[in-house]
Amino acid sequence: MRYESCYDDACSIRDWIVERRRTLHRFPELMYEEVQTSRLVRQTLDELEIPYRYPLAETGVLATIGDGKGPTVALRADMDALPIHEEADISFRSEHDGKMHACGHDCHTAMLLGAARLLKQREDEIHGTVKLLFQPAEEGGAGGQRMRDEGALDDPPVQRIFGLHVWPQLPVGSVGSRTGVFLAAAGGVEMTVRGQGGHAAMPHRAVDPVSVAAKIVNELQTIVSRELDPLNSGVVSITAIHGGDAYNVIPETVQMRGTVRALSMEGLLHIQRRVREIAAHVAEAHRCEVQTSFPGNDYPPTVNDADCWSLAKQLAGELTSPDRVHELDAVMGGEDFAFYTEQIPGCFVAIGVRNEQQGAIFNVHHPKFKVDEDALPLGTALHVGFAMNSLDQLREHA
């Protein structure tokens, strides 16, 4: 491998990467609100004298490095945060109350900025183009779809794309992924069950939507347990229920929200159809009505190309050691990196951030989530290797 020095170089700028990550962490912004985040990205690119296009997908940034004479490879980082109040015991906690980088997108952005710095230093070795996608709105806003549809993968056309995600199930220094479906197709569901309100002491004079909502929740679980192939995973989770405000009043309506997931778009659409049918028939059987919708964006499954994972696996083994590279099972979480791999080959790679001694043990989307920042130079080095090695391979097979 010609780029074995990139990990040493990434370690040499560790403080620079960490400083940007901590700044981003202190000022998290939700989807399509990443104004300050995007500004920091652009200021850094300006300092590095890297040209970019802005805006894409409202707050996104598309930077380019290389001579443009050859193939094109893309690297992607997401920038948005989550509506979670931070409880992590760190000195750089979120200063935006009720918002937190609980999924590590601050790390993703900082690692890609580190890669931008190292790739710029190697620009005379880049025979082709490396595109750097700083993307908004991964957390439900389908920012990846908008970046793609607004031309991030075009002019010049991208042949491969890579992305990283911090992974609290893996110890720091480890890397993992798999060929094929890595992350699930995912979407949201909302329901309103409508009955007839009344006095709780006289239920016979009302039509109780609370009991009907409970029946619907129970019946929905049979979709996975009795309708899906046991070897083909799916999820139906109702995660929020609200109905009524008084102990002695049967409400007129109950609202429910949740998520549905599958390992293919066909599976997701089947689950959605059955959710709608079961909810409607249960409600009708108990003299209620139900409105079911699937708002937001349906994310397709994230599918890793075999050649891209093979390259990533070999690179990770050389940067760390082969015993720290793991073949992972598919995960029912969703990722809008999938919108890129719908169009071109790519690989989404997990990078370990777990460290029990530091308390970095909580899963993503947890208010106490934190990472071992020693993972950041490795992520930067992986990005550099993904780009440089892919360009070499693509030129060889041109």
Peptide bond into 71 cis (omega under 30): no
Q: What is the CATH number of domain 185-293?
A: 3.30.70.360
Residue 271, phi then psi, degrees to nearest 5 = -60, -45
pLDDT given at position 1? 44
Rounded to whole angstroms, the Cα distance separating 368 from 370 reads 6
For residues 266-288, average pLDDT: 98
Rounded to whole angstroms, the Cα distance separating 348 from 176 reads 9
Rounded to whole angstroms, the Cα distance separating 133 from 60 reads 8
The whole-model pTM stands at: 0.96
Q: What is the share, in percent, of the chain residues with pLDDT greater than 90?
A: 97
Rounded to whole angstroms, the Cα distance separating 391 from 135 reads 22
- Which residues lie closer than 8 Å to 386 by C-beta, 6 or more apart? 73, 75, 162, 311, 312, 315, 347
Nearest to 132 by CA among 66, 207, 43: 66
For residues 357-362, average pLDDT: 98
Q: Quick one: pLDDT band at residue 166, thresholds 50, 70, 90?
A: very high
268 Ramachandran zone, left/alpha/beta (phi>0; psi -120 to 50)? alpha
More confident residue, 172 or 5: 172
Question: Do 58 and 52 meet the contact criterion of CB atoms below 8 Å apart?
Answer: no
Q: Is the dihedral of CA 278, 284, 286, 289 positive or negative?
A: positive
Rounded to whole angstroms, the Cα distance separating 71 from 55 reads 24
pLDDT given at position 2? 56
Query: Domain 6-183+301-396 belongs to what topology?
Result: Aminopeptidase (3.40.630)
State yes or no: pLDDT of 124 exceeds 60. Answer: yes
Q: 176-219 pLDDT, tens per residue? A: 999 999 999 999 999 999 999 999 999 999 999 999 999 999 99
The residue extents of the domains of the chain are: 6-183+301-396, 185-293
Peptide bond into 28 cis (omega under 30): no
Mean pLDDT over each residue of the chain, to the nearest integer? 97
Lookup: tokens for 347: 């690989």
Q: Quick one: pLDDT band at residue 231, thresholds 50, 70, 90?
A: confident
Q: Quick one: pLDDT band at residue 397, thresholds 50, 70, 90?
A: confident
